Amino acid sequence: MKKTTRRKFILRGLGVFVIGGVIAWFKKNSVFRWLILKNNNGDLAMSSAPRVGEELCVLTSQQVEGPFFLAAPNRRNVKEDCEGKDLNLTLQIVSAWDCSPIEGAIVEIWHCDAEGIYSGYPEELAHDIWKTLNLTGIRGAHVEPLNEKRFLRGAQITDANGIVEFETIFPGWYEPRAPHIHFKVISGDQDCLTSQFYFEPAFCNRVYSSQEPYLKYGDSPFTPDNDFVIGQFEEANGLQLDMIWNSDIPLEASAIIGVERNGVG
């Protein structure tokens, strides 16, 4: 092979390699999404949280706090100016040992808006896996807030029956997580539980395919069956939040959260 021909061959090969690399770079979100969607949590048994009023409680399973936790303002209505399907959420904190209500506990919730955006963080993270992982890392380490917004975050103190109520909206979805609501329970000086509520995919997509502004991104490809966070845990007791559909009024949901205090339920 002549030198000029060999040089052309090498340059052509390098060109194909570079072009392939450029294409892969621009499709990196699709690649990451494809890899995550291949995850399978088929062996995970997720149980529904008992509803408030039922004579039943379980030790609610732990989940990670995630990268977007911020201390929340004390308030019942967390919506601010967020648009979406209204949701009235009632939570009861009880001892998992004897189901007795825990009074005076702090309960915090936080979740994304209808388009997958968390207050305090850049909007473009919601549907860009690459940017999200670049900011949080694969383990989802905590990230300090980058702006002053605090919508869809709130804290309440349980009453004598262990109950708190929140007025919020149904969360949207973001790359690469199944739709969820984060919550944290603090009793005295003890952080009793940090976890997340999940939903039936069919219910999520009923909202996402019929309500504004969820229609912008439509159905979620991420579900508890392929969510990489929930798959890190062997148990998911009481983590499915069963919803009550209301067409023209707020959705309703309630859950009894069973916790341990100082190693005892």
The C-alpha atoms of residue 258 and residue 94 are separated, in whole angstroms, by 5
- Using the predicted structure, report yes or no on whether residue 7 has a pLDDT greater than 70: no
| Choice between 227 and 135, residue whose per-residue pLDDT is larger | 227
> How far from the centroid of its chain's Cα atoms is residue 74's Cα?
21
Q: Burial level of 240, CB count in 10 A (0-12/13-18/19+)?
A: middle
The predicted model gives 82-89 an average pLDDT of 98
pLDDT at 165: 98
SS3 7: helix
Computed over every residue of the chain, the mean pLDDT equals 87
The pLDDT confidence band at residue 27, using thresholds 50, 70 and 90, is low
What local confidence, expressed as pLDDT, does residue 264 receive?
A: 59
Q: What is the pLDDT of residue 39?
A: 78
What tokens appear for 60 in the block? 């609610």
- Apex CA 151: angle with CA 214 and CA 111, to 5°? 60
In this structure, are residues 49 and 258 in contact, taking their beta carbons and an 8 Å threshold? no
Peptide bond into 179 cis (omega under 30): no
Domain spanning 44-259, CATH class: mainly beta
Phi, psi torsion values for 237, nearest 5 degrees = -70, 125
Kindly tell me if the per-residue pLDDT of 101 is higher than 50: yes
User: What are the structural domain ranges in the chain?
Assistant: 1-38, 44-259
Check: CB of residue 230 under 8 Å from CB of residue 59.
Answer: no
pLDDT score of 255 more than 70 = yes
Of 9-18, 73-82, 130-139, 183-192, the least confident: 9-18
As a whole number, mean pLDDT of residues 208-237 equals 93
Per-residue pLDDT band at 146 (split at 50, 70, 90)? very high
What number of other Cβ atoms are within 10 A of residue 183's Cβ?
25
Residue whose token pair is 């992982």:
133
pLDDT tens digit string along 63-79?
A: 999 999 999 999 999 99
Q: Record the tokens describing residue 225, joined without a space.
A: 């069956």
Report pLDDT for 201: 96
Q: Which helix (H) or strand (E) holds 26?
A: helix 3-26
pLDDT one-digit tens code per residue, 157-199: 999 999 999 999 999 999 889 999 999 999 998 999 999 999 9
Tokens representing 58 are: 């379980």
User: Whole-angstrom Cα distance, residue 248 to residue 213?
Assistant: 16
> What does the DSSP 8-state code read for residue 27?
T
pLDDT at 10: 36
Q: Exposed, middle or buried: residue 121 (CB in 10 Å: 0-12, 13-18, 19+)?
A: buried
Count other C-beta atoms under 10 Å from residue 71's C-beta: 10
More confident residue, 39 or 251: 251
